[in-house]
Structure 1
Amino acid sequence: MPEGHSVHRIARQFQRNFVGSRVSLSSPQGRFVAGAAQLDGHVMTDARAVGKQMFLEFDHDLWLRVHLGLYGAWDFSGEIMMDATIASANGRMGQTNQRGTTVPAILDSAGENSLHSIGAPRRTRVRMSEQEKESYAPETFPPEPIGQVRVRLLTDTVCADLRGPTACEVLEPAQVDAVIAKLGPDPILDPSIEAEDRFVATVRKKSTPIGLILMDQSVVSGIGNVYRAELLFRAGLNPYAPGKSLTDDTVRALWNDWAHLLTIGVETGQMMTMDNLEGDAYSLAMANRADRHWVYKREGLPCRVCGTHITLEEMGARKLYWCPSCQR
């Protein structure tokens, strides 16, 4: 499932390429014809992400809400302008490492940091990421829809196709407020001490295991299976420890580490969770998911710190990866 960093990057794509433009909407698949008609021909005025959900505002006080879920993804084509926050000095796509240094973008094998396709990996995404070179240029614009496109957003220069979302609906402002009110704080959207305090207070009241709490979008927005495993390992926390058993300082450290990793994810497009990598080690980690995580998908392999075999279990109907020695 696409996690919070991906959705923030998608929102930034829309901010950069669609906000301020009149947009044509259609539903090539046919499942969102009525919703597309409500928004078709209007100017997009805002694009924002809250955790795993994105909200696009139009000039007649209607919003498009999208939750990608397990399989959803956006594909972009046309004259795409990159997010200025990930552009290098020479104007080409770049990414920022943990020490704040901008380096040329390194594409991984799944195209996770692609400008052309963001969301759940699938064959069309790999196809697009393979084309993502300086010479990339669609033969026609707009391109023919590929697969089951729920909704297409089109301007004179840019096209965005949505496939496989869990939710895609038109909402009024009060309905948007109601959805957001049910979500936990997102450190990109709200880095305030009040947001941190809200997270700490909620976690400290719960007898639920912290491994489940972090996946609860009403407690904190944006954390999925990868970030859950990596955050707990970095904190040295047993996934089964009840939230109320943790100290305030421990929970605050979790919040701050989530803000740290989320920022890296938004800037690089990849869930980089290993710090202090430089040179070849950094390039290798950015190019291969297996080289940039502490425990995720490393079941049966020795822990990078202590050598104990990483354990794979099920928690909340999702796979849980952890080190029984480092996370006692």
Structure 2
Amino acid sequence: MPEGHTLHRLARLHQKRFGGQVIEVSSPQGRFVDGAEWVSGHVLKRADAWGKHLLHRYDNGAIVHVHLGLYGKFGEQSVPMKEPVGQVRMRMVGEEYGTDLRGPTRCEIFDDTQVDALVARLGPDPLRKESDPEKAFHRIHKSAMAVGALLMEQDVIAGIGNVYRAELLFRHRVSPFRTGKYLDHEEWDEMWTDLVELMKVGVRRGRIITLDKEHDSGTGSRGPGRPRSYVYKRNGQPCLICGTTILTADMKGRNLFWCPRCQAT
């Protein structure tokens, strides 16, 4: 599933390519016909994101809410666009560019009240300046759940996924199995600051980069001798810091990766 930086990057792209323009919106697949008719022919005022949720705000007050889920993806084209291929839930056509949305978990019309309700259910987003990390710390510190599980809860932090979860915990030498209430405030402040910077890099570069320069082989792919992460998908390989074998386990239905020596506590 795309992590939060992907949605913020998409929001920036759509704002640049479609913002301030009258957009023609359709649903070749037929599952978003009413919503498409509601916004088609209106000006896209703003595209933004909160966590893993993309929001297209139109001048008639309607907001298209998109959650990509596991399989959702936007395909960008220049105008004139080719005929739709496959199950295109939503097609947007602007002055110079168009985009096809396929396979999202959600593609629906919201109003401001529904957006407010969505945001109220979510934790702070590291990529939004107004986010308060204290809200996340309060949820973590009062919990008897493992930190590794808490970081994946979108009502704790909005936008973090499996990669950032694994890498952030390693970078701060925190065991994913540590109970949330034993994570102290200073540790959390350092983790939040680091997470903000890591996700900003993800927005700029279009990919998750978590290795410090001295540990990055720069070869562009993961694998033995070609690490692009500290622990994520490196199970069975030696830790880049201590040489201990990276382990993996299931935690609440998602694969967890960690170094048992570096992250002993």
TM > 0.5: yes
Distance 1:249 1:16, change over 3 A: same
Alpha-carbon distance in 2 for matches of 1:17, 1:199: 34
The Cα shift of 1:277 comes to 4.8
Between the aligned partners of 1:270 and 1:174, the Cα distance in structure 2 is: 33
- Contact 1:72 1:165 survives alignment (8 Å): yes
Cα offset, 1:35, TM superposition:
1.2
Matched residue of 1:30: which SS? coil
**RMSD in angstroms over aligned alpha carbons?**
1.5
* 2:170 pairs with 1:233: yes
Between the aligned partners of 1:219 and 1:321, the Cα distance in structure 2 is 20
1:70 aligns with 2:63: no
Whole-angstrom distance in 1 between the partners of 2:41 and 2:217: 45
User: What is the CA–CA distance in structure 2 between the aligned matches of 1:264 and 1:282, rounded to whole Å?
Assistant: 18
**Is the Cα–Cα contact under 8 Å of residues 199 and 255 in structure 1 kept in the other structure?**
no
**Aligned twin of 2:145:** 208
Question: Conserved in 2, the CA contact under 8 Å of 1:188 and 1:259?
Answer: yes
Runs of 4+ in 1 over 3 A off after TM superposition: none
Aligned to 2:221: 288
Alignment-derived partner of residue 58 in structure 1 = 58
Q: Deviations over 1:4-26 (max 9, x none)?
A: 11111000011101110000011
Q: Which has the higher contact order (CA 8 A, sep 6+)?
A: 1
TM-score by length of 1: 0.77
Q: Which residue of 1 aligns with 2:204?
A: 267
* 1:312 corresponds to which of 236, 240, 248: 248
Name the aligned partner's letter for residue 327 of structure 1. Q
> C-alpha distance in 1, partners of 2:214/2:2?
24
Closer, same or farther in 2 for the Cα pair 1:38/1:191, shift >3 Å? closer
What code does the residue aligned with 2:73 have?
A
Identity across matched positions, percent: 44
Aligned-pair CA distance for 1:152: 0.5
| Contact 1:203–1:251 (CA under 8 A) maintained in structure 2 | no
- Structure 2 unmatched ranges of 5 or more: none
1:156 matched to 2:89? The reply is no
The answer as to 2:187 corresponding to 1:250 is yes
Q: Which consecutive unaligned segments of at least 5 residues does structure 1 have?
A: 80-140
What count of residue pairs does the alignment treat as equivalent?
261
How many angstroms does 1:312 deviate by? 1.1
CA deviations over 1:172-201 (Å, ceiling 9, x no partner): 111111111111111221256xx0222222
Report the AA paired with residue 174 of structure 1: T
Given that residues 185 and 199 in structure 1 are in contact (C-alpha distance below 8 angstroms), is that contact kept between their aligned partners in structure 2? yes
Partner of 1:112: none
Residue 218 of structure 2 contacts residue 228 of structure 2 at CA under 8 Å; is this kept in 1?
Answer: no
CA positional deviation for 1:156: 2.4
Q: Which amino acid in 2 is paired with 1:77?
A: Q
The answer as to whether partners of 1:45 and 1:59 remain within 8 angstroms in 2 is yes
Q: CA deviation at 1:157?
A: 1.0
Match of 1:324 in 2: 260
